[in-house]
Amino acid sequence: MSDLTVIAFPKVKFLLIPLILAAAATTTVTAKVEKPVTQWACADFLSVDDQFKPKVVYWAAAYAKGGQPEAAVIDIRGIEKVTPELIGQCKKAPQASMFWTRLKDEWKKVEAETEAETKKIEKKL
């Protein structure tokens, strides 16, 4: 058993310290917004990484529908329309505490457009 390599503590310490620091930094970044999305200001939404903003919009829109059957349907086109609108509005007034209201208003616009398109299609049939 003398063939086993033994790592001395000083060598391990040099490996562990960067890993611990990276884990602490990641925890700090992800814990940036700790309040419910219904209480977010636009600055909270803007602080989310760009790749996750559509996911936040999708989740918040489903949550806003409060368990209605439509909440289970993923409206990709709606998310693609609402997300840039929210980003634009929030960049104009980042300290506004109306993220939730803006999200609901934008989603109502998308639903109205979808309903209008559906009626046009039904008329053609």
Q: Nearest 5°: CA angle at 92, between 59 and 47?
A: 45
Residue 56 lies in a domain: yes
Residue 46 lies in a domain: yes
Residue 100 lies in a domain: yes
Per-residue pLDDT in tens (0 to 9) along the chain, 125 residues? 556 555 554 554 444 454 454 444 443 344 466 788 888 889 999 999 999 999 888 888 877 777 554 555 567 778 888 899 999 989 998 888 888 888 888 888 888 888 888 888 888 87
Q: How many beta carbons lie within 10 A of that of residue 103, not counting itself?
A: 25
Alpha carbons 8 and 114: distance in angstroms, whole number: 66
CATH number for 83: 1.10.890.10
Residue 62 lies in a domain: yes
- Per-residue model confidence (pLDDT) at position 74: 63
Number of domains in the chain: 1
Residue 28 lies in a domain: no
Q: What is the separation of C-alpha 46 from the centre of its chain, rounded to a whole number of angstroms?
A: 9
Q: Is the pTM of this model over 0.75?
A: no
